[in-house]
A and B are shown apart, each in its own frame.
Chain A
Amino acid sequence: DQVLHVVPETYQQVQHLQLLCSTLLLDLWKPPMPEDITAGEDLHIRVPAPLVQEVKHSLDQHMISYRVLIPDVQELVDQSMPRERSSHSRVQEGYVYTQYHRMEEIYEWMAQIQKDYSEVVTQQFLGTTFEHRPVYYLQISQPSNKPKKIIWMDCGIHAREWISPAFCQWFVKEILQNYKSDTKIRKFLENLDLYVLPVLNIDGYIYSWETDRMWRKNRSPYQNGTCYGTDLNRNFNSSWGSIGVSFNCSSDVFCGSGPESEPETRAVAEFIKRKKSDIVCYLTIHSYGQLILSPYGSTTKPPSNNEELMQVGQKAAAALKEKYGTSYKVGPPSLILYNNSGSSRDWTHMIGIPLSYTFELRDTGTHGFLLPADQIQPTCEETM
């Protein structure tokens, strides 16, 4: 399709153009109606491809001068649309880790990853969301005859924190693409299994793509469907409902009707409870703030292994800073952020997992939740 720019000079030319537009039902961009075509005034018409020849011929015949404003409308449309990821973009060649992805693409990605790295990866079912979607995690485990300890990492508890699932995907990719060649990663996998949950709050994530980019909670209804969503990170059984929460469903920190009231919380909690004696480290990824948060949020009383927690956290922050100079602060939220209760990190520590951390990724408020996609790579590289 082409868009033509025409300036009729005489009344006869105007009449001809009006006739042409109405008989061929041409799409007038300017002015909107054929009746408004005036001599001496700009006219912009979009001509469907099959009619281009005919229309130009007709203009020539009537000595009406024109020029082509847009030679290919489709090309312009394609360029200006956010690139729709087509379903055939394959993981190895096609999956773009430096862009944010819809949930359906993430589901496809998980299946593809399992296929491509079947010797070490299995996709496991954890449970279902309120809206009945399956929650999967990826188990990365090098076959071995010795039992291995587990590091668990989940992303996307809060829907609007898009950099978080992006990081989980990046992390998986880095490990799998390099575990054979990188000695550090190889050693890692010889002794540890990695369990990665790319999106925990699937319903909320989808909602943030389709309806409200700033949505945080899950999508379970309360008050007869007049109010939606529990803050999953206030819903765990760690001093549930005591501080930093709201009992009002319309709040963004609504803690639910009781500890583990939400199916997503239960799916994670039940699994972790079963495996807790093997889990040495629990990581949960959020944004924003550039913080490495150790337990607890509900009290300033330090956890029993606080020294170890702080030491490990400080080492992580130092390594992170080495990459691009990004500063992360380390400490419990009760001191450096704000009090809260019912967080997954506090709960996992309380049931006995020694190293529990919340990572709040970039940035510190310049972009907040709307971290530009071009920061995905540096954020993930430094956090890795």
Chain B
Amino acid sequence: RAMELTPGRVPVSRAAALAEGVVRLRRGGPARALRLRELRGARAEDIKDVGYKFYLELELEDVLDKDCAVQCSAEVLYHLGNKNSAPDVQFTLEGELKSTEEADHVFYTRMRSLEKELVAENIPDSHGHVPPELQPLHLLAWVASGHVIWQNSTENTQLYLAQIQHVKQVKRSDEDLQFDYVVLLHEMVSQEITPWEMTVLWHPGDSVRVTRHRRQHGH
């Protein structure tokens, strides 16, 4: 039984941000990151003994190609008693996304051919600036952090990537690129900013994989 959005419960923008992050994770890479342009429709449903479910219509755009937009239907389910279970997020996309084959290839070969493994910090810097050659690493982190955020989201949290504190490339014997990140995530409700470690693997043509993540201690 679908009802009007219950005021004071989960704001719809919270569910939309979560859906956006998962879509960005699944469809993103060092040369593509989708972001929410507009929330076109939403309704919520209180499912007895299961949880709280949102049905969302989102319009998303490619940050590197703002003329390119896609429509997305998403369902977000916050489980009842949501302690250990990440929300369920399903979506379908309508529309063409620009191919990133060439940019992916350039990035991939550049990283593979570096003599010394790349290391960088504070992306963006305090003034919001990202040097152009680090842009793909920034995008990759933003895409990958969608996984960490999704796995750690509840009805009462709204997480965003605030900054990459540190990134280190790790050379591998197989074909994947590996980057070990420490990212700062901003949680809107508590306003806390906490560091998280995440290991990100990627290869052209593949989606971004986060093989390991954990909250950093000593904070």
Contact = CB atoms under 8 A, between A and B. Distances in A.
Given A214-B163, A365-B160, A370-B126, A337 B35 contact: no
A30 interface: no
A241 to B, nearest CB: 16
Contacts of B63: 366
A337 B189 CA distance: 8
Interface string B184-219: 101011111100000000000000000000000000
Contacts, number: 77
A266 B219 CA distance: 31
B87 to A, nearest CB: 17
Nearest to A291: B13
Contacts of A214: 162-163, 184, 186, 193
B36 interface: yes
Contact of B128 (A327, A339, A370): A370
A91 B19 CA distance: 45
Contact of B190 (A99, A213, A253, A337): A253
A367 interface: yes
Interface string B121-139: 0001111111000000000
A372 B125 CA distance: 9
| Range for the number of chain B residues in contact with chain A | 20 to 34
A338 B128 contact: no
Considering the complex of A and B, which 10 residue pairs feature the smallest CB-CB distances, nearest first? Answer: A372-B128, A252-B191, A365-B160, A370-B128, A214-B193, A370-B124, A338-B189, A213-B126, A300-B8, A252-B192
Interface of B: 7-8, 11, 13, 17, 35-36, 38, 63, 124-130, 142, 158, 160-163, 184, 186, 188-193
Interface of A: 82, 99-100, 209, 213-214, 216, 231, 244, 246, 251-253, 289, 300, 327, 329, 334-339, 364-373, 375
Given A100-B126, A329-B13, A372-B127, 10 more contacts: A214-B163, A252-B192, A253-B190, A335-B11, A338-B11, A368-B162, A368-B186, A370-B128, A372-B124, A373-B129
